Structure 1
């Protein structure tokens, strides 16, 4: 059995390793999750020769060209290649429109308030220090440097040039041998990553991978059998069916082997034959074809560019859409990065748009399936580039208005039909994950102390008052009375079981536990806070209270519990309109709601005279509105994220300058005893980690769900393990 595996081709070994890995992962489940570290190690080994190989291959390949050949290729084939690249990148950017709509939301994440490292485009594209560019992994800069060196060599003569080109050729062979050696180890990495993924990946994640695979297959097929051959049929005497017929054998070979290099001679001969059929060939044309095909092979082709779709998929999968400006940067940087290996280009592009590097493993897993499809696109790209260049050389390229209209209608029609079919098909058969509101609606307070929850607001002047209770009085009566604001997610709200829960509800229960008393929750409205504390309706207000300068003379705030981040909540389709100050200034007929922060709102009103601001009594009035009275809401990012779990059709965005504000608890100004106790208690619970534990649970959602172990044969069928 082992000898048979060794005798297989490397491509077959990888496919076998992938399926064996899936089988192992399904059998053993999460216990083989550690194998991902082996897979990561193998991939890193595969990457070690890529950057040096880019340098030697581009310098050697371009440097050995004759001036006339170089001029011909870069002036004619270069223009066509650039246009094909632009078309390919456009189609890749449009293909995410086929992804099904997924209405989702997530808990607050500290990553959204971390400063985004700005991309230094000068360092990314200009190799002022090539050694720094190589060390930092700036692939586009290395490509620019290598092309510049290759172009400089074209005009040089003498033995020094010959020796340098031989050295580059020798280095290329050396790196090629190293890569071939690493390819023998690659099946081990494929097995490890496949086993880890199959053992740990949930059903929803597998369903999401279908989105990528279906859209990728559709993209490659429409390029290979519709868009590219139609361009040739529109602009040259060669018909659509002749293009398909001449490329058929090469396409089948490339798909079966995943190897483009072995069909290069076939592409050359087929292009010569089809040119002869139309009496447009000559010795010079044949020479052009013979030179062009192998040189074009060394440049990125449309088939290779299609892998950029994986980055768009990752942004959809991660719930962080790529902005239009970033899409342009991704296209240009991705093109230059793909002069090298996809195993370097994909991690580079993921980092460029700030996506998790771990997603790269999904690309490697699917690479042996998708690789067969991008191989046929690459082959068709070589055919079309060669035929268009030869037709331009023979002055048979028909770039007149009727032909251009014919080409545009055919290409646009193919793209629109493909996107619509994929969107409708995946929308019907690939379903969204479970609604996220079930997670936050079922969260519970862990500390169980005797609890009384009142739901009726005390009526000022009618409900009997009580004396302001010191710590000793609270202990004597055995009850700590805590004021709360209902529906103040995630600080105090009712879960599906009708229990009062939330960050501050948990903190209040812990405070009561430490005082060794019961806890009684009393609802209040923000406007009645001072009067309610003075009337003794409750001892302390604990409900995500923003520290308010206007109230500081009428009540006492404890030490700040945490800092929250100002944000804007809006319907998903409007969120981007509030991301920058400039975009907000362009808005008209917009109404923004707010609940508190009167001082801050006054300053904002002066800054944005084009916006109408209206105060509402509670955040739920915005999220549950039916008449679309309000377009956006000023809220904290932490609370806004929690609300979007209940209402996934809304999203949040931070204010541009990342303004923050403190929240604290409040007691009556004369209750110095309780104020001192709570301040000291807070310090203790911050140091021992209890407050951070509550923050992680209620704000970040850590531990909010306890998914069962991944289904596996060894656990769920054989019952060999628990």
Structure 2
């Protein structure tokens, strides 16, 4: 059995390794999650020769060309190659339109407030220091440097050139032998990653992977059987069916083996035959084809470019769509990085658009499956490039308006149909994950102390007053009275069971527990806060209160409890319009709602006099609006994220320059005893980690959703483990 596995082709070994890995993962479940480390190690080993190989292959490949051949290829085949690249990148950028719409939201994440390093495009593309570019992994810069060296070598003569080319060729063979050795280990990595993924990946993640695989297969089939042969049929005398017919054997071989190199001789001969059928061949054309095909093979082809779709998928999967300007950068950088291995290009592109690097494992796990499909697109790309270049060489390329219109119409119709069918099909059969409103609506306060929750607001001048209670009076009374604002997610709100919960409710319960008393929650309105404290309706207000300049002196705020980030909540389709100061300034007839932060709103009114600001009684008024009366809402990013869990049709965006403000608790202005106690208590709970635990749970949602062990045979069928 073991000998049979060793005698299999590498592609077959990878398929077997994947299947065995899936079986192991499903059987053992999460206990094999550690295997991902082995998979990562194998992938890193595969990457070690890539950057040096880019240098020696490009320098040696371009440098050995004769000046006439180089001029012919770069002037004619180069134009067609670049045009095919541009078309391929454009279609790839359109394919995310086929991804099903998922109305989702998530808890606040600290990653959105972390500063994002700007991309230094000069270092990325210009190899001012080639050694630094190689050390930093700037693949595009390395490609530019290598091409420049290769072009310089073309015009050189003498033994030095021959020796250098021989050295490059020898290095290429060395790196090739190393890679061949690493390929023998690759099935182990595929097995490890497949087992880890099958053992730890949830159902929702598997469903999302279906989105990528289906759209990827559709993209490759679209390029192979519609876009590329239609270009030939539109611009040359060769028909669509002839193009498909001559490429059939090569397509089948490439798909079965995943190897393009072995079909290069077939591509050369089939191109010669089809040109002979149209009497468009002679010795010079045959020579051109024989030179062009192997050289074109060393450059990125459309099949290889299709892996960029994985980066678009990751952005969709991560809930952070790539902006148009970033798509241009991704396309250009992706093209240059794909002069090397995809195992270097994909992590580089993920980092370029600030996506988690660990998503690469999803690509590596599925790479040999998708590789069979991009192989057929690559083969068809070589056929089309060769036929178009030969037609241009023979001056038979029809670049007239009727042919161009025919080509554009066919391409447009095929792309639209493919995207529409994929979008409709995946929307019907691939169900999106359930919304997270149920998660936040079922969260509970862990610390249980005897609790009384009042729902009626005290009425100023009607509700009887009580003495302002210091810490000793609170202990004697046996009750801590805490003011709260209802529907102030995630600080104080009612869950599905009708319980009052939230970050500050948890903090208040902990405070009462530490004092050794019961807790009573009393609702209040922000405008009545000072009078309510003065009348003794409650001892302390704990409900996400911003430290208000207007209230300073009329009450006392404790030390800062949290520092929150200003943000704008808006319907999903309008979120982008509030991302920058320029986009906000360009808004017309927009109405911005706010609940608090009056001082900040006054400054905003002076800066944006064309905007209308309206004060609301509560955040729920904005999120429950049905007539689109308000375009945006000034809110903290933490609270806004929580509200979008209930209303996933809304999103948030941080204000430019990441403006922040403090929140604290409030006590009556003369209640110094309680103020001192709460300040010291809060400092203690910050140091011992209790406050951070509450923050992680209520703000970040850590532990909010019960994590069930991944289904596995060993646990759920055989019951060998708990």
**Structure 1 residue 708 displacement after superposition:** 1.1
Name the residue aligned to 1:448: 448
How do residues 331-346 of structure 1 correspond to structure 2 at under 5 angstroms? 331-346=331-346
State whether structure 2 residue 429 is matched by structure 1 residue 429. Answer: yes
**Structure 1 residue 224 displacement after superposition:** 0.3
**Structure 1 residue 536 displacement after superposition:** 0.3
Aligned residue for 2:31, secondary structure, equals helix
Name the residue aligned to 1:700: 700
- TM-score, normalised to structure 1, is 1.00
Aligned residue for 2:34, secondary structure, equals helix
Name the residue aligned to 1:457: 457
State whether structure 2 residue 165 is matched by structure 1 residue 165. Answer: yes
Q: Deviations over 1:590-635 (max 9, x none)?
A: 1000011111111111111221110101100000111111010000
Name the residue aligned to 2:255: 255
**Structure 1 residue 5 displacement after superposition:** 0.7
**Structure 1 residue 570 displacement after superposition:** 0.3
Q: Deviations over 1:416-464 (max 9, x none)?
A: 0000000000000001101110010010000000000000000110000
Q: Deviations over 1:467-489 (max 9, x none)?
A: 00010100001000000000000
How many Å separate the matches in 1 of 2:256 and 2:10? Answer: 13
Aligned residue for 1:662, secondary structure, equals strand
State whether structure 2 residue 530 is matched by structure 1 residue 524. Answer: no
Aligned residue for 1:570, secondary structure, equals strand
Q: Deviations over 1:533-588 (max 9, x none)?
A: 00000000000000011101100000000100000000111100100011111110
Name the residue aligned to 2:419: 419
Matched residue count: 722
State whether structure 2 residue 240 is matched by structure 1 residue 225. Answer: no
Aligned residue for 2:520, secondary structure, equals strand
Name the residue aligned to 2:469: 469
Q: Deviations over 1:25-65 (max 9, x none)?
A: 00000000000000000000000000000000000000000
How many Å separate the matches in 1 of 2:653 and 2:268? Answer: 54
**Structure 1 residue 22 displacement after superposition:** 0.1
How do residues 534-613 of structure 1 correspond to structure 2 at under 5 angstroms? 534-613=534-613
Name the residue aligned to 1:674: 674
- TM-score, normalised to structure 2, is 1.00
State whether structure 2 residue 189 is matched by structure 1 residue 189. Answer: yes
Aligned residue for 2:563, secondary structure, equals strand
How do residues 115-514 of structure 1 correspond to structure 2 at under 5 angstroms? 115-514=115-514
Q: Deviations over 1:372-426 (max 9, x none)?
A: 0000000000000000000000000000000000000000000000000000000
Name the residue aligned to 1:632: 632
Q: Deviations over 1:351-379 (max 9, x none)?
A: 00000111101001111111000000000
How many Å separate the matches in 2 of 1:430 and 1:608? Answer: 44
How many Å separate the matches in 1 of 2:70 and 2:12? Answer: 38
Q: Which runs of 4+ in 1 moved over 2 A?
A: none
Aligned residue for 2:442, secondary structure, equals coil
How many Å separate the matches in 1 of 2:25 and 2:313? Answer: 24
How many Å separate the matches in 2 of 1:187 and 1:255? Answer: 19
How many Å separate the matches in 2 of 1:242 and 1:695? Answer: 66
How many Å separate the matches in 2 of 1:10 and 1:373? Answer: 17
State whether structure 2 residue 54 is matched by structure 1 residue 50. Answer: no
How do residues 682-721 of structure 1 correspond to structure 2 at under 5 angstroms? 682-721=682-721
Give the superposed CA RMSD: 0.4
* Structure 1 portions without partners, runs of 5+: none
* Structure 2 portions without partners, runs of 5+: none
**Structure 1 residue 168 displacement after superposition:** 0.1
Aligned residue for 2:567, secondary structure, equals strand
Name the residue aligned to 2:664: 664
Q: Deviations over 1:116-149 (max 9, x none)?
A: 0000000000000000000000000000000000
Name the residue aligned to 2:68: 68
Q: Deviations over 1:481-516 (max 9, x none)?
A: 000000000000000110000000000000000010
How do residues 3-18 of structure 1 correspond to structure 2 at under 5 angstroms? 3-18=3-18
**Structure 1 residue 115 displacement after superposition:** 0.4
How many Å separate the matches in 1 of 2:8 and 2:145? Answer: 39
How many Å separate the matches in 1 of 2:657 and 2:293? Answer: 53
How many Å separate the matches in 1 of 2:428 and 2:644? Answer: 25
How many Å separate the matches in 2 of 1:551 and 1:133? Answer: 56
Q: Deviations over 1:264-291 (max 9, x none)?
A: 0000000001111101111111100000
How many Å separate the matches in 1 of 2:563 and 2:607? Answer: 24
Q: Deviations over 1:155-189 (max 9, x none)?
A: 00000000000000000000000000000000000
How many Å separate the matches in 2 of 1:586 and 1:545? Answer: 32
How many Å separate the matches in 2 of 1:186 and 1:270? Answer: 34
Name the residue aligned to 1:21: 21
Aligned residue for 2:700, secondary structure, equals coil
Q: Deviations over 1:2-39 (max 9, x none)?
A: 11111111111111000000000000000000000000
How many Å separate the matches in 2 of 1:657 and 1:37? Answer: 38
How many Å separate the matches in 2 of 1:179 and 1:200? Answer: 30
How do residues 32-43 of structure 1 correspond to structure 2 at under 5 angstroms? 32-43=32-43
How many Å separate the matches in 2 of 1:250 and 1:676? Answer: 81
**Structure 1 residue 707 displacement after superposition:** 2.0
How many Å separate the matches in 2 of 1:318 and 1:397? Answer: 44
Aligned residue for 1:398, secondary structure, equals coil
How many Å separate the matches in 1 of 2:261 and 2:9? Answer: 16
Aligned residue for 1:545, secondary structure, equals strand
How many Å separate the matches in 1 of 2:56 and 2:706? Answer: 52
Aligned residue for 1:244, secondary structure, equals helix
Aligned residue for 1:382, secondary structure, equals helix
Name the residue aligned to 1:2: 2
Aligned residue for 1:696, secondary structure, equals helix
